[in-house]
Amino acid sequence: MDSLTALVNSWVSLAQGIVASIGTLALLTAFVYRIVAVDQRNASEAKRWIGRIVVGTVGAELAGTLTHALLATIPSGMH
């Protein structure tokens, strides 16, 4: 059971790192696009995308934290 827990922890950490990297790149891209957008409609659309990116990144982090919390609830007798 310890090897399974270690495997899940490593995959969750890897997934959180990838999501954080992609989320940061997408956030910066949307923010720059919002700054340089000529049209007001494009700027407001970029603002909406910024909100979606933030919510998605926070959701992925919460999912990782929930996974760690659920793994911690496994009784030691089941190992």
Q: CA-CA distance, 79 to 49, in Å (whole number)?
A: 44
Both tokens of residue 18? Answer: 């990838």
Closest among 24, 33, 34, 29 to 60, alpha carbons compared? 24
In tens digits, what is the pLDDT along the chain, a chain of 79 residues?
Answer: 678 778 888 888 888 888 888 888 888 888 888 888 888 888 888 889 888 888 888 888 888 888 888 878 877 766 5
CB atoms < 10 A from the CB of 50, how many? 18
Torsion of CA 20, 22, 24, 29, to 10 degrees: -170
